[in-house]
Amino acid sequence: MVVVLGLIFLCAWLARRFGLQRFNGGNVVKVVSSSNVGQRERVVVVEVSGTWLVLGVTSSQINTLHTLPAQPMPQAPSVASHAALKPIDLFAQKLRESITGKTRPAP
Does residue 91 lie in a domain region?
A: no
Beta strands in 7-73 (DSSP E): 29-36, 42-48, 51-57, 62-69
Does residue 96 lie in a domain region?
A: no
Does residue 95 lie in a domain region?
A: no
First to last CA, the chain: 61
Write the DSSP string, 71-98: -PPPPPPPSTTTGGG-HHHHHHHHHHHH
Does residue 106 lie in a domain region?
A: no
pLDDT in tens, 18-56: 766 555 555 678 888 888 888 888 898 888 888 888 999
Provide the residue range defining the domain that includes 25.
2-73
CB 54 within 8 A of CB 43: yes
Does residue 51 lie in a domain region?
A: yes
Does residue 30 lie in a domain region?
A: yes
CB 82 within 8 A of CB 74: no
Q: Which residue has the higher pLDDT, 58 or 75?
A: 58
Does residue 80 lie in a domain region?
A: no
Domain count within the chain: 1
Does residue 22 lie in a domain region?
A: yes
- What is the C-alpha to C-alpha distance for residues 4 and 1, in angstroms, rounded to an integer? 5
Can you give the pLDDT at residue 7?
92
CB 67 within 8 A of CB 52: yes
- What is the C-alpha to C-alpha distance for residues 75 and 2, in angstroms, rounded to an integer? 50
